[in-house]
Amino acid sequence: MATAVWATIVFSAVPSMAAAREETINLVSRASLLLPSSQLPGVAWSGNADLYTPDGAPAGTATGGCIVTKVSGASGVPTVTSHCNIQFSLTLPDGRVGDVHTSAVMVTALGPPPKIEYAINGGTKDFRNAAGDATSTLTSAVVPGNPTEWILTFRLTTIE
């Protein structure tokens, strides 16, 4: 007589614990913004910046483009909401290089906003697995034709 043997095999899928490294990178941004001349949804505008360490050493560049998505407020001083994608090409003094890709919603009225918050969507090279957020805080007076200065703080979480 044959005996039936039932075996139950249980596989446990335990994800490997990837190491996460968190860091803050502080930079200074000197930006030239081409704010929209026409305040209508769908209008594109752009900006670019040179990036520096707090002690003045070159640290890269930033370029970005925005699309106006909403215009509201009084006709004399409308509030313009734009969706922006900004790429920060970093060349840091510690030798790390690569791009950090971000997106932001900017609300402007009579010039750039005093603070911009970004979501970090990834990156390249030394910032390949970057996540987190960033903040730019305006630190200079806005003078037409002159770059504006911002303190730029990246809060990066890199999965290794």
Report which of residues 144 and 118 the model is more confident about: 118
Query: In the predicted model, is pLDDT for residue 12 greater than 90?
Result: no
The DSSP call for residue 114 is S
Give me the pLDDT at residue 113, please. Answer: 86
pTM beyond 0.75, yes or no = yes
Query: In the predicted model, is pLDDT for residue 159 greater than 80?
Result: no
Q: Are strands 44-52 and 58-72 parallel, antiparallel or unpaired?
A: antiparallel
DSSP string, 90-114: EE-TTS-EEEEEEEEEEEESSS--S
Mean pLDDT of the chain: 85
Residues 158, 102, 64, 47, CA torsion sign:
negative
Report which of residues 88 and 3 the model is more confident about: 88
Q: Report how far residue 9's alpha carbon sits from residue 24's, in angstroms, rounded to the nearest whole number.
A: 46
Query: In the predicted model, is pLDDT for residue 154 greater than 60?
Result: yes
Query: In the predicted model, is pLDDT for residue 47 greater than 70?
Result: yes
Q: Which residue has the tokens 């970093």?
A: 90
Give me the pLDDT at residue 39, please. Answer: 77
Query: In the predicted model, is pLDDT for residue 118 greater than 90?
Result: yes
Q: Report how far residue 68's alpha carbon sits from residue 117's, in angstroms, rounded to the nearest whole number.
A: 17
Tens digits of per-residue pLDDT, 14-42? 444 566 789 999 999 998 877 767 778 99
Q: What is the mean pLDDT of residues 76-90?
A: 91
Query: In the predicted model, is pLDDT for residue 73 greater than 90?
Result: no
